[in-house]
Amino acid sequence: MTWPEVRTAATQNRIIIIPVAAIEQHGYHLPVDMDNRGCFHVCAEAAKRRPDLFLNTPLLPYGFNEHNMEFPGTVSIRMQVFMDYVFDVARSYTRMGFRRILIINGHGSNQMLVNLVARRVVNETSALAMGLPYWTLSSESFNQELRESASPGGTAHACEYETSIYLALEPDAVDMSKAVMEMAPPWSKWIWTDLTAGSSDVHFVDNYSRYNTSGVEGDPTPATAEKGKKILEWTINNLIELGEDFSHIAIKPRRSQQHQPETDFDAHANASP
């Protein structure tokens, strides 16, 4: 798009999609760009199918990854820098006049930070913003129809779910002969991680190298390209459904009940620190 085309798009109530992911080790069998590939594919494909609803923007390829820095190929952005960067990108779109921002995340450790960025956009601009991991859009169908790995824990990282996606997108880059199962230690029934089985509310992410050798957490061995194709279709279709719902949420004026309200919200939000 040229800048006049972007200006026109901002008048069309289209949802800005900001894809964010990571460069991170994914075991012996998957390339380090797994999260970027899966995340960007579903965002780009949804926007291609529904240009009236979405405007996809360039992928932000690096994420928060400190727990995996003992593995070569992993890049980590400090959490505050990451949050400021994603916020500044979102804020730039709100300054163009876009009022709906969807931050689609492809990397587990980004999620808590993405959530805070979405909150900050709502708090500090007149736009609405949401953050989600893309796998939440296909979790239910995957668990019910495809899943073979143990639950919870079998689908955590470089697992059946992620490997199936890569096999669907670029099978020649995946070496299934090197795929190994490695489960997280049974720390407690209260502590577990799984992409698609919901998640324990006990937040605990130890440094991977303390307990993990391969870089896999879960079981990639039942992954297939056919599963990946189904996962991607579910995800894209449900992303469109979410977008439709989002586009119908009214952006109402704030109504202060304060004795002496601040008068100009936008001017306040735009003020330099």
Query: Which residues sit at the interface with Zn ion, rule CB under 5 A?
Result: 34-35, 162
- Measured CA to CA, the distance from residue 117 to residue 110 in angstroms comes to 10
- Measured CA to CA, the distance from residue 130 to residue 115 in angstroms comes to 7
Q: C-beta of 26: minimal distance to Zn ion in Å?
A: 6
Confirm if 253 and 155 have CB atoms less than 8 A apart: no
Q: Looking at beta carbons only, is 40 or 98 nearer to Zn ion?
A: 40
Q: Looking at beta carbons only, is 16 or 23 nearer to Zn ion?
A: 23
- Measured CA to CA, the distance from residue 96 to residue 158 in angstroms comes to 38
- The end-to-end CA distance of the chain, in Å, is 33
DSSP-assigned beta bridge partners for residue 54 = 15
Q: Looking at beta carbons only, is 6 or 181 nearer to Zn ion?
A: 181
Residue that the structure tokens 């029934």 belong to? 189
Residue number of the CB atom closest to Zn ion: 35
Q: C-beta of 35: minimal distance to Zn ion in Å?
A: 4
What SS3 state is found at 222? coil
- Amino acid letter for position 47: A
Q: C-beta of 22: minimal distance to Zn ion in Å?
A: 7
Q: Looking at beta carbons only, is 35 or 182 nearer to Zn ion?
A: 35
Q: Looking at beta carbons only, is 162 or 182 nearer to Zn ion?
A: 162
Q: C-beta of 233: minimal distance to Zn ion in Å?
A: 19
Q: C-beta of 106: minimal distance to Zn ion in Å?
A: 7
Pairing label, strands 54-56, 15-20: parallel
